[in-house]
Amino acid sequence: MPDDLIRLAATEAVARLKRREVSPLELIDAAARRIAEVEPAVNALPTLCLDRARGHAKRIMACEGQANADHPGWLAGLPVTIKDLTDVAGVRTTYGSPIFRDHVPQASHPLVERIEALGGIVIAKSNTPEFGAGGSTFNEIFGRTRNPWNTALTCAGSTGGGAVALATGECWLSHGSDHGGSLRRPATYCSVVGIRPSPGRVTRGTSNNLFAPLSVQGPMARNVPDLALFLDTMAGWDLRDPLTYDAPAAPYTRAVAEARPPARVAYTTFDGSLPIDREMRALCAAAVRRFAEAGSVVEEIRLDLGALAEAFLVLRSQAFVVDREKQLETHRALIKPDIVWNTERGLAATPSGLAWAERERAAWYRRLAEVFGRFDVIVTPGAGTPAFDVMLRHPESIGGVRLENYMAGSMWNAAFTLAGCPAVAVPSGFDQYGRPVGIQIAAPPRRDEVALAAAAVFERITGLDRQVPIDPREGVVPPAEA
């Protein structure tokens, strides 16, 4: 029974909870057993809160707090994980930083409040890089999170713990956040799904960057219907976040259930300036052509990035100034070099440099808008390279091109971050070494349902969602492509 329960899709688990065929306590116990089995190999969920979870489960089972039971995002007592960047009341929350090693918040983040009010039960905090900065999930407090497809490899970052927990069956849904690909890259590396929602779709609540659209909160899941369910849970207006807006009249779960193939699909590797492994390029190009099996017209296009990579670093660094300037003054020795570099880069920026970056971003969006006028979705590779050595901060090179900094391989995802576009990472297969690869499907801003529907169609074609959950597998690090 426990093994059967952890293999349920989230939508099926919720349906059984609603019918009282299974209880929240049974699901918590099944998750706890699975966590005990796989955590030594992967280190995805370093902080558990099972007693707190059981208390919440008993209240739900006693029909307390069910005023939202008719909400399309009602989870009915389903266990979920929360990224360790996000406060959960009474639960150790470190942000992956030695500065907050023993921090226990008294109040939950507004999004956690929302998830719990809609029947989600928090069972654990998922591992993250320090302050979420990094393309590989590790920190000085909890160590490294390993990829279950090959534990010698990284799960990417920064929502790496959440992706691994899903892939191994430790939970049914994972919460995360995304700035330069932190929901999408781990999903790609772990063969699960993640969406970076449109800015304002999900509350960021307590952020100091409340008026900046680069960083968002969002869901991860094992399949697209589950992803849509969790986005329905998260979506909606919040007084504490000025960018938020009302949830859609038609739930995302309905958009996925009724999904039709997109009429026109644009596939792009941008303008050839982004490093990508040859095999990754070939696998993703072959994958996107599978939309034609559903009747879509697929066309490969060129999209000029201009100087977008530099513009992203300029604008990202300003976010670091807002978040880390004061900590840099008081705790510099406890902050990792990548964050120091990003923050100091922002502090050295000039008004003219910031204005240039905003003009570059605006020009990029105008180019994208022209493409979206002709195509329903834009598809790209989900990453430039598959999972790399878990001991590295970032891949040393991609496609034979040496990377200059830890963000240099992130523009595949960050290009849509800068445009405010929703983007879904969905599995598309495996490389010659058995490493998961995936594609990224982007839609126009605030058209999250379009990206989700296209991802659902693609998932139905491939059937790759049925590959997870898995038991962790040992392996070796494949050679880097020259």
- Domain residue ranges of the chain, discontinuous segments joined by +: 2-467
Q: What is the b/e burial string over 336-350, where b = at least 16 CB atoms within 10 angstroms of the residue's CB? A: bebbebbbebbeebe
From the list 455, 424, 430, the residue with the least C-alpha distance to 283 is: 430
Q: What is the pLDDT along the chain (482 residues), one digit of tens a residue?
A: 457 999 999 999 999 999 999 999 999 999 999 999 999 999 999 999 999 999 999 999 998 878 899 999 999 999 999 999 999 999 999 999 999 999 999 999 999 999 999 999 999 999 999 999 999 999 999 999 999 999 999 999 999 999 999 999 999 999 999 999 999 999 999 999 999 999 999 999 999 999 999 999 999 999 999 999 999 999 999 999 999 999 999 999 999 999 999 999 999 999 999 999 999 999 999 999 999 999 999 999 999 999 999 999 999 999 999 999 999 999 999 999 999 999 999 999 999 999 999 999 999 999 999 999 999 999 999 999 999 999 999 999 999 999 988 898 999 999 999 999 999 999 999 999 999 999 999 999 999 999 999 999 999 999 999 999 999 999 999 998 87
Cβ proximity of 76 and 119 under 8 Å: yes
Residues 6+ apart with CB under 8 A from 202: 111, 216, 217, 218, 231, 234, 235, 244
Give residue 65's pLDDT. 78
Helix segments in 81-219, DSSP class H: 110-117, 160-167, 184-190
Instruction: Return the structure tokens found at 382.
Output: 């989900």
Give residue 207's pLDDT. 92
Residue 278, SS3? helix
Terminal C-alpha separation, the chain: 47
Task: State which fold the 2-467 domain adopts.
Answer: Amidase signature (AS) enzymes (3.90.1300)
Give residue 1's pLDDT. 47
From the list 278, 266, 324, 261, the residue with the least C-alpha distance to 456 is: 261
